[in-house]
Structure 1
Amino acid sequence: MRISVTEAKGQLTDLVRRAEAGDEVVLTRHGQPAARLVAVKAAMDRKSRRALLEAARRSGSAKAKAGPGAARSQDFLYGDDGLPG
Protein backbone atom coordinates (compact mmCIF):
# COMPACT_ATOMS: atom_id res chain seq x y z
CA MET A 1 0.00 0.00 0.00
CA ARG A 2 1.28 3.50 -0.86
CA ILE A 3 0.11 6.54 1.06
CA SER A 4 1.39 10.08 1.36
CA VAL A 5 2.99 11.20 4.61
CA THR A 6 0.31 13.87 4.97
CA GLU A 7 -2.52 11.29 4.73
CA ALA A 8 -0.66 8.83 6.96
CA LYS A 9 -0.56 11.27 9.87
CA GLY A 10 -4.24 10.73 10.59
CA GLN A 11 -4.14 6.97 10.01
CA LEU A 12 -0.95 5.97 11.80
CA THR A 13 -2.57 3.48 14.17
CA ASP A 14 -4.31 1.69 11.30
CA LEU A 15 -1.15 1.70 9.19
CA VAL A 16 0.88 0.19 12.02
CA ARG A 17 -1.74 -2.54 12.47
CA ARG A 18 -1.58 -3.30 8.74
CA ALA A 19 2.20 -3.50 8.88
CA GLU A 20 2.02 -5.85 11.88
CA ALA A 21 -0.37 -8.03 9.88
CA GLY A 22 2.26 -8.36 7.13
CA ASP A 23 1.26 -5.61 4.70
CA GLU A 24 4.02 -3.36 3.45
CA VAL A 25 3.10 0.30 3.80
CA VAL A 26 5.12 2.76 1.73
CA LEU A 27 4.97 6.40 2.78
CA THR A 28 5.45 8.83 -0.08
CA ARG A 29 6.47 12.44 -0.28
CA HIS A 30 5.57 14.29 -3.48
CA GLY A 31 4.74 10.93 -5.07
CA GLN A 32 8.16 9.42 -4.36
CA PRO A 33 8.76 6.64 -1.81
CA ALA A 34 10.18 8.10 1.40
CA ALA A 35 9.80 5.40 4.06
CA ARG A 36 8.47 1.91 4.55
CA LEU A 37 6.49 0.51 7.47
CA VAL A 38 7.07 -3.19 8.05
CA ALA A 39 6.58 -5.44 11.05
CA VAL A 40 9.57 -5.93 13.35
CA LYS A 41 10.64 -9.54 13.63
CA ALA A 42 11.05 -10.72 17.19
CA ALA A 43 14.66 -11.45 18.13
CA MET A 44 15.50 -15.03 19.00
CA ASP A 45 16.07 -15.73 22.65
CA ARG A 46 19.45 -17.04 23.77
CA LYS A 47 18.34 -20.67 24.03
CA SER A 48 16.82 -20.72 20.52
CA ARG A 49 19.87 -19.02 19.02
CA ARG A 50 22.20 -21.57 20.65
CA ALA A 51 20.07 -24.47 19.40
CA LEU A 52 20.19 -23.08 15.86
CA LEU A 53 23.98 -22.70 15.97
CA GLU A 54 24.45 -26.21 17.34
CA ALA A 55 22.23 -27.64 14.59
CA ALA A 56 24.28 -25.80 11.97
CA ARG A 57 27.52 -27.16 13.45
CA ARG A 58 26.19 -30.72 13.48
CA SER A 59 25.00 -30.37 9.91
CA GLY A 60 28.38 -29.05 8.77
CA SER A 61 30.25 -31.83 10.55
CA ALA A 62 28.05 -34.47 8.92
CA LYS A 63 28.72 -33.03 5.44
CA ALA A 64 32.49 -32.62 5.86
CA LYS A 65 34.61 -35.00 3.80
CA ALA A 66 38.14 -36.08 4.52
CA GLY A 67 40.63 -34.93 1.92
CA PRO A 68 44.23 -33.94 1.46
CA GLY A 69 45.75 -31.60 3.97
CA ALA A 70 46.45 -28.01 3.07
CA ALA A 71 50.17 -28.71 2.69
CA ARG A 72 49.46 -31.11 -0.17
CA SER A 73 46.46 -29.38 -1.72
CA GLN A 74 48.43 -27.75 -4.57
CA ASP A 75 50.86 -30.54 -5.40
CA PHE A 76 49.20 -30.99 -8.80
CA LEU A 77 50.70 -27.64 -9.84
CA TYR A 78 54.28 -28.96 -9.64
CA GLY A 79 56.15 -31.68 -11.46
CA ASP A 80 58.35 -34.40 -9.97
CA ASP A 81 61.32 -32.02 -10.11
CA GLY A 82 59.49 -29.51 -7.85
CA LEU A 83 59.15 -26.91 -10.59
CA PRO A 84 55.86 -25.52 -11.86
CA GLY A 85 54.55 -27.89 -14.45
Structure 2
Amino acid sequence: MPRVPIASEDERKFIVDGIQSNFRNDGRNCRTYRPLLLATDVINTANGSCLLKLGGTVVMVGVTFEFSRASQEKPNEGRIEATVDG
Protein backbone atom coordinates (compact mmCIF):
# COMPACT_ATOMS: atom_id res chain seq x y z
CA MET A 1 0.00 0.00 0.00
CA PRO A 2 1.43 3.43 -0.89
CA ARG A 3 2.30 5.78 1.97
CA VAL A 4 0.18 8.91 2.19
CA PRO A 5 2.05 11.94 3.51
CA ILE A 6 0.59 13.47 6.65
CA ALA A 7 1.81 16.96 5.77
CA SER A 8 2.60 18.64 2.49
CA GLU A 9 6.21 19.51 1.66
CA ASP A 10 5.51 23.18 2.48
CA GLU A 11 4.02 22.21 5.87
CA ARG A 12 7.05 20.03 6.63
CA LYS A 13 9.39 22.91 5.74
CA PHE A 14 7.40 25.29 7.96
CA ILE A 15 7.64 22.88 10.92
CA VAL A 16 11.36 22.11 10.44
CA ASP A 17 12.22 25.81 9.97
CA GLY A 18 10.26 26.62 13.15
CA ILE A 19 12.17 24.01 15.15
CA GLN A 20 15.51 25.22 13.82
CA SER A 21 14.55 28.85 14.57
CA ASN A 22 13.18 27.95 18.04
CA PHE A 23 9.78 29.39 17.11
CA ARG A 24 6.18 28.14 17.11
CA ASN A 25 3.37 29.75 15.13
CA ASP A 26 1.63 30.80 18.38
CA GLY A 27 4.68 32.84 19.44
CA ARG A 28 6.12 30.42 22.01
CA ASN A 29 9.63 29.07 21.68
CA CYS A 30 10.20 25.31 21.49
CA ARG A 31 10.73 24.92 25.24
CA THR A 32 7.81 27.05 26.45
CA TYR A 33 4.80 25.04 27.55
CA ARG A 34 1.18 26.13 27.28
CA PRO A 35 -0.33 27.37 30.55
CA LEU A 36 -1.67 24.37 32.50
CA LEU A 37 -4.29 24.18 35.26
CA LEU A 38 -5.44 20.92 36.84
CA ALA A 39 -7.96 21.00 39.66
CA THR A 40 -9.82 18.16 41.37
CA ASP A 41 -13.13 18.03 43.23
CA VAL A 42 -14.58 20.91 41.21
CA ILE A 43 -18.18 19.58 41.01
CA ASN A 44 -19.64 19.30 44.49
CA THR A 45 -22.53 17.04 43.38
CA ALA A 46 -20.17 14.41 41.88
CA ASN A 47 -18.30 11.66 43.71
CA GLY A 48 -15.17 12.68 41.80
CA SER A 49 -14.35 15.39 39.29
CA CYS A 50 -11.52 17.33 37.69
CA LEU A 51 -10.94 20.33 35.47
CA LEU A 52 -8.07 20.56 33.01
CA LYS A 53 -7.12 23.73 31.16
CA LEU A 54 -4.25 23.46 28.68
CA GLY A 55 -3.81 26.55 26.55
CA GLY A 56 -7.20 27.20 24.96
CA THR A 57 -8.49 23.67 25.65
CA VAL A 58 -10.80 23.05 28.62
CA VAL A 59 -11.91 19.59 29.76
CA MET A 60 -14.16 18.89 32.75
CA VAL A 61 -15.01 15.40 34.00
CA GLY A 62 -17.44 14.36 36.70
CA VAL A 63 -18.13 10.86 38.01
CA THR A 64 -21.13 9.89 40.10
CA PHE A 65 -22.12 6.60 41.70
CA GLU A 66 -25.42 5.31 42.92
CA PHE A 67 -25.28 2.36 45.29
CA SER A 68 -28.21 0.00 45.81
CA ARG A 69 -28.81 -3.52 46.97
CA ALA A 70 -29.11 -6.36 44.48
CA SER A 71 -32.55 -7.90 44.14
CA GLN A 72 -33.31 -11.10 46.04
CA GLU A 73 -34.20 -12.81 42.75
CA LYS A 74 -30.76 -12.06 41.23
CA PRO A 75 -28.34 -11.47 44.12
CA ASN A 76 -25.22 -11.84 41.93
CA GLU A 77 -26.32 -9.38 39.25
CA GLY A 78 -26.01 -5.63 39.35
CA ARG A 79 -26.11 -2.66 37.06
CA ILE A 80 -23.48 -0.26 35.77
CA GLU A 81 -24.62 2.91 34.05
CA ALA A 82 -22.36 5.46 32.38
CA THR A 83 -23.25 8.86 30.97
CA VAL A 84 -20.98 11.17 28.99
CA ASP A 85 -21.85 14.80 28.29
CA GLY A 86 -19.77 16.97 26.07
TM-score of the superposition, structure 2-length normalised?
0.26
Normalized per residue, the structure richer in strand is 2
TM-score of the superposition, structure 1-length normalised?
0.26
- Mark the structure with the bigger radius of gyration: 1
| Higher relative contact order, chain-length normalized (CA < 8 Å, sep 6+) | 1
